[in-house]
Each structure stands twice: as C-alpha cells, then as structure tokens.
Structure 1
Amino acid sequence: MQKLLIVGCGDIARRMLPRLRGHYHILALIRDAAQRSFWRSQGAHPVVADLDQPDSLRRIAGLANVVVHLAPPPTSGEDPAHLGQGDRRTRQLLAALARGRSLPQRIVYISTTGVYGDCAGRRIDETCAVQPISARARRRVDAERQLRAFGRRGVVVSILRAPGIYAAERLPLARLAEGKPVLRADDDVFTNHIHADDLAMLACAALRRGRSNRAYNATDDSEIRMGDYFDLLADRFGLPRPPRLALSAAEQHLSAVQLSFMRESRRLSNERIKRELGIALRYPQVRDGLDAAWVERKQQCSS
C-alpha cells in the first residue's frame, strides 16, 4: 500500500480522509503535537513538523510515495528571487522531499483561481495566462512554478485551482448580518465557487487520474455575479439582502481584502475536470450547495 503524506491538515484534508482510508497508508503532517490523538483516531499516522521550520522537515525525506499539498503560502513576506512575493513554505517542503533517496511519484496541490487575475468577466479555461493582481495570488503562482519545476524531475504534479470554497460552516452569514454592501448590478463581477466536499473529491480523483504538470479549474458549473450570490444566500437563510452600492461608494465600507475580490471578474470553464478526472459534482450549482447547507445547519440546531 502506498504511503500518502497530507501537508496542510485542515478542513479539506478531513473531508478527503474517508475516500483515502483503505487505499493508502496515510501520514498527516501537523504542527501541533496535541492534534496527534485526533489524526490517529481518523486512521492517519501523525508526523509533527512545521513548514516554517525547515529543520523539522528532515523526517519527511523519502517518507511518502504520494503527497497532497493543501498548505497555504505565508500571509506575508517577500522573496526577491521569486516574483517579489514567494511561497517559502512550498520551497522548504520541496527541498525536504528532494533529500530522500527517492522522490514522491505524485503531488497534488490545491492552488487558487486568483492566479488568473481580472478577466473582465470573460469565460476562460486553463490555457489562459496567469496574471495575478494580489500578493496572495502572486505567492500561489510562485508555488505553482516551483511545483512544475519539481515535476520535471519525474514527479507527476497536478494542480487544482480552487475558487471560493464553501460549506455549511464556511458561509459569510456574519457579513450579511452586519449589512456589509455588495456592488450594484452595473459594477458587479462574476464570482466562482466550489463546495468543500466536491473539492475533496476532486483532490482524490487527481491522485488517481491527474495528468503530469497539469492545471485544473476546480470549480462548479455556476455562472453567478457576486451580488446575486449574496442575495441567494440571504434568501436561503432568512436574512436581509445586502445593500447595493457603486464601487466608488463601497470602497468606503469594505476592507482592502474584500475590495480586491470585487476587482476581479471571470467565468471559469470546468470541462477539464469532467473530461480528465472523470467526476460528477455533487453540488454543480451554488443553489444546490446552499440548500444542502441550510438542511445541515437546521439539523445541527435541532439535535
């Protein structure tokens, strides 16, 4: 049985576990030793190490045949040799993996659709050039380039570019309750989504069928504008719809991070994940996922 190392043991990793158990010997890289008992209870062998502490990564050299890299880049920090904002965590992970007697056979990495930047609402696929605007997206581009270079050493590297990830416990309901504005129709942007369960399923499919040095848009079938998404969310959960403002007025009410998402508009083709990874999304439309989230939260409240 192959050994699979999960790097970045958060929500998506937990959702992947039921699909991985019985097929791999699962190793979970964790920073907090107190989490050992949880991961053991989930059928994984915990490995205590920290991507921000290179010396702690020595133990993973040659440890796994397959790696699922779910860890985000640092939230800040510059690396002049790599686009100004580099992902040192990915760099240190790959350096540690390269020290082993053998390299992993396969790596699956979850990146972001933010690498495309603003496409002015155009429908695009994975052949579109990356043009990141934000620092966080530039760090993701750097991670992708590092992984592609590593892949040229004979490792099958598959990159899943994920948009806004949502689930019952990952909804911006607090923002709706606070009455934060969204853009009026004339200024609104297209936004893209994927349910967390579907992303976990896609990552598992990429472990089996992902092609080498290949990027995949891990997005659902929806073509929805951001304001319409918040209206849909508000209606489903019985909250007031958010106020609509012009972009110039919204700049006075929202943070720089929130505004950055309102300056990028794109519609993403997901034909490649269907054709090459052979999946059928459980929640192909945002409405499907929100309906399921409402039922799940209702059940939690009644239990």
Structure 2
Amino acid sequence: MRTVFLSNFLGALPARFRRQRVLIVGCGDVGLRVARVLQGAGGGTRTGIAATAVSHAPRVRVLALTSSPDRVALLRAAGITPLQGNLDDSATLRRLAGLATRVLHLAPPPGDGAGPAQRHDPRTTRLVRSLRRRSLPQALVYASTSGVYGDCSGAWVTEARPVAPATPRAQRRVDAERSVRQLGRAGVRASILRVPGIYAPDRVGGTPEARLRKGTPVLTAPDDVFTNHIHADDLARACALALWRGAAQRIYHASDDTVLKMGDYFDLAADLYGLPRPPRLPRSAASTQLPAMLLSFMSESRRLDNTRLHRELRLRLRYPHVAEGLRC
C-alpha cells in the first residue's frame, strides 16, 4: 500500500463507477471509530448502524488527512488510505480537491498557544478553500462544540438558540461553523454536529477516574452546573449517519439522554469505581483553588435537547446514559 497524492483519475470516472470515498480530516480516536463504522458498512457483513447509515452506498473507501508521517502506518493498519497534508499549510491541501465524495471534519481550530485573542479558525478556512477548487463533495459534516452557546443558566437548549461564545476557543468554533455554512451555500450538503464532553473507557483520558483519584473538587449543589456527554462510539455512529442523513445547513446536538449536574456526574462515576466522592467547594472558593480552564467549564450550564439526533438522524444511542457507558 502507499500514501495517495493524486486524484485526477478518480475524479474523472463516471459517477456510477465511483465508490463512495469518505475523507476524515482530524482522524484521531473518534475518526478511527468512524472509519470502523464505515468499513463495517462496506464489507461483507453489514450489521447495525453501519448498514443503516450507508445502505445505499455498498462500497466505501475511507481516506484520512494526516500531517504526521508517524501516523501513516497506523492508518494503513486500520484499513484507511492516508493522505499527507497539513491544515496549517494551504499548499499541501490542493490534492484534496475533487477527491472525496463526503468529508468529515473533526480537526480542532488552533489552540490558545497560537494567540488567546485569536477568534478565527484558519484551518477550516484553508480546508474549505481547497475543497472548492474542483468538483465539490456531496456532503460535509463538521464536529463543533456545544460551548458555542456559552452559559445558558441551566436552560434547555435547542439548535435554534443563538450562539454566544464566551471563550476564544468557542469563538474559533463559531468561525469554523461560518466557513462550513459558506461551503454549504456553494452546493455542498453541509451539516454541523455540536458535541459536548466525549467519554469512553477505552479512550485516553476518557473517564473521570484520574481526576477522582486526584481528589479534584467539584462545586456545591447550589453553584453546580448542568453538563452534557456523549460516548465516543455513539458520536462515531452519529458522524456516520450525518454523512448520509444530515440535512443541508442543519445543526444537530450529538449528545446522549443524560440529565446531570457536573458534581452528580462525578459522584456517579466515583460510586461505579469504588472511589471516594470528590469534595465540594462553593464557587467563591473554587475560583481561587482551581485552574482557569477547569473553572471555565464550571461557568457554563446548559441542557442539550437531542430531539433532532433521534428523529432526523434516527440514531439509537447505544449508551443513552453515562452510567451505561462508564460500565462498558
């Protein structure tokens, strides 16, 4: 096998002879899970969500953009065709034009290390520009964050709620969503998944266990905030479904059915693991004892309405509640 750089021949084939080619941009843990879903759909055994997601697309080839030569072997071993390119270098993205029939964009914007005042996501801008150079993909799904809503004071939030990002990282996500919508206006069926906290026992740092063992405090009940979650496997299945079922310019909350405040979530996990429950602090004390990043998550409270996820993408969650997902 080899790393692919050329797309001229593939792009010239008549549509009826082309297999579906899904390009994953940002193929980390979730991307690899999505690839397994799609490969299950295109193989000889077609079961569960994979078959449902692509029942009309029996042949799926999965490609992934990577900027790290060290990941090429890992991607190949997973049955994925690696494409070398860097979202921070436009010249390396030109080969993406016309290559994929569907694109899943999982890559995050630059972090605060690129400048905490930066509100723009140049990576998504470069990706969109590269995709516009030749025949457009049929669909693009972007995994954003529920942080774009800011603090909602514990209210139920639907996808129709206006964004109010309170941090530079959330503002960069809003900018990325704007770029995706612009591509949608050019004819691509663009959908956005707004994703809360991702967890999974087989994901690095994917459970609260390490934090519980450190004894990191949580807020007292009167000061506590609602938090939202999605198991990594359910998120992967949501991504696969959105590639085929996502409506144009449509937003979906990729969240499970759990309704818990943050402290209650950690209490539940502690009980499951047989660990002490975390200490509780009032917000006034937490502001002087906890890191700024952690405090920012403790300053936003919302409950995500996932009706569209169930009704429109028709996703049946494998882990509808965190208690089930943490036990698996």
Fold conserved between structures, TM > 0.5: yes
**Distance (Å, rounded) in 1 between the aligned partners of 2:71 and 2:228:** 33
CA deviation vs aligned residue, 1:160-191 (integer Å, no higher than 9, x gap): 10100000031132211111110000100000
* Residue aligned with 1:149, SS: helix
Find the aligned partners of 2:275 and 2:246 in 1 and give their Cα distance.
41
Q: 1:252 maps to what in 2?
A: 288
Counterpart pick for 2:274 among 238, 259, 267: 238
Q: Which residue of 2 aligns with 1:105?
A: 138
Q: Could you say if the C-alpha distance between residues 79 and 88 of structure 1 is closer, same or farther in structure 2, counting changes exceeding 3 Å?
A: farther
Q: Secondary structure at the match of 2:318?
A: coil
Structure 1 segment 28-47 matched on structure 2, within 5 A? 28-47=64-83
What do residues 14-33 of structure 1 show as CA deviations (whole Å, max 9, x unaligned)? 11112212241111111112
Long gaps (5+) in structure 1: 293-303
Paired residue for 2:312?
276
Inter-CA distance 289–79: structure 2 relative to 1 (3 Å threshold): closer
TM-superposed CA distance for 1:38, in Å, is 1.8
Partner residue in 1 for 2:160: 127
> In the aligned structure 1, how far is the partner of 2:227 from the partner of 2:74?
35
Q: 1:79 touches 1:86 (CA, 8 Å); kept in 2?
A: no
The one-character-per-residue Cα deviations of 1:78-112 (angstroms, maximum 9, x if unpaired) are 699xxx51111100111111112x11111011110
TM-score (norm 2): 0.85
Give unpaired runs (5+ residues) of structure 2.
1-18, 43-58
Identity %: 54
Q: Contact (CA 8 Å) 2:116, 2:168: kept in 1 or not?
A: no
For 1:14, which of 8, 20, 32 is the aligned residue?
A: 32
How high is the TM-score relative to the length of structure 1? 0.92
- Give 1:297's aligned residue: none
Mean Cα deviation higher: 49-58 or 203-212: 49-58
d(CA) in 2 for partners of 1:99, 1:254: 47
Question: d(CA) in 1 for partners of 2:322 and 2:110?
Answer: 29
What are the equivalent positions in structure 2 for 1:128-147 lying under 5 Å apart? 128-147=161-180
| Equivalent position of 2:321 in the other structure | 285
Higher deviation after alignment, 256-265 or 174-183:
174-183
Indicate conservation of the 8 Å contact 1:181/1:253, yes or no. Answer: no
> What is the aligned partner in structure 1 of residue 51 from structure 2?
none
Secondary structure at 1:289 match in 2: helix
Corresponding residue number in structure 2 for 1:295: none
Residue 96 of structure 2 is aligned to residue 96 of structure 1: no
Supply the distance in 2 between the matched residues of 1:135 and 1:42 (Cα, whole angstroms): 35
Task: Report runs of 4+ in structure 1 exceeding 3 Å deviation.
Answer: 77-80
Structure 2 counterpart of 1:63: 99
CA distance in 1, matches of 2:34, 2:182: 26
User: Where do residues 151-190 of structure 1 align in structure 2 (5 Å cutoff)?
Assistant: 151-168=184-201, 169=203, 170-190=206-226
